[in-house]
Structure 1
Amino acid sequence: MITKEMIDRINYLYHKSKNEGLTDEEKIEQSKLRMEYVKEIRQRVKQQLDSIKFVDEDNCHDDCCHHHHHH
């Protein structure tokens, strides 16, 4: 789970890397944090996509699919 502390640590390491550089241990930590963050974001997006229901236009009632009317 992405926590505020995790975000704060990612931001801290990013700024430290730009200003003074990171130790090897911090570089490894930064890499792990970023991978965990991206993994969770991907899972959230997948869950959202999996929950989308597509309307099957062939099964739609006449009153909701006006573009199928032929006059």
Structure 2
Amino acid sequence: MEQAKIDRINVLARKSRAEGLTEEEKKEQDLLRKEFIANVRGNLVAQLNNIDMVNPDGSIENLGEKYGKKTKRS
């Protein structure tokens, strides 16, 4: 997400606490928040899909390949 959008989220949050938002600003805030949350979730899933675990027998298992939507490594 671009820094300008994050800054806009913060501006709207401060304005909401200080004086309230118009209906148009509330809609904008809601859309920006949803985009931000989707971005955070996507980044988290990508990180979790890249976790490797060492099993007790010494083999390495990628959790993204086992549980996620990641394609198998070559």
TM-score, with length taken from structure 2:
0.76
Q: Which has the higher strand share?
A: 2
Instruction: Count matched residues.
Output: 59
What's the secondary structure of 2:21's corresponding residue? coil
Which 4+ residue blocks in structure 1 deviate beyond 4 angstroms?
Answer: none
Q: In 2, Cα distance between the equivalents of 1:57 and 1:47?
A: 25
Q: In 1, Cα distance between the equivalents of 2:35 and 2:56?
A: 39
Bigger RCO (CA 8 Å, 6+ sep): 1
Cα deviation, 1:10-57, whole Å, max 9, x if unaligned, reads 000000001111000000000000000000000000000000011122
Percent sequence identity is 44
Unaligned runs of 5+ in 1: 62-71
Unaligned runs of 5+ in 2: 60-74
Higher Rg of the two aligned structures: 1
TM-score, with length taken from structure 1:
0.79
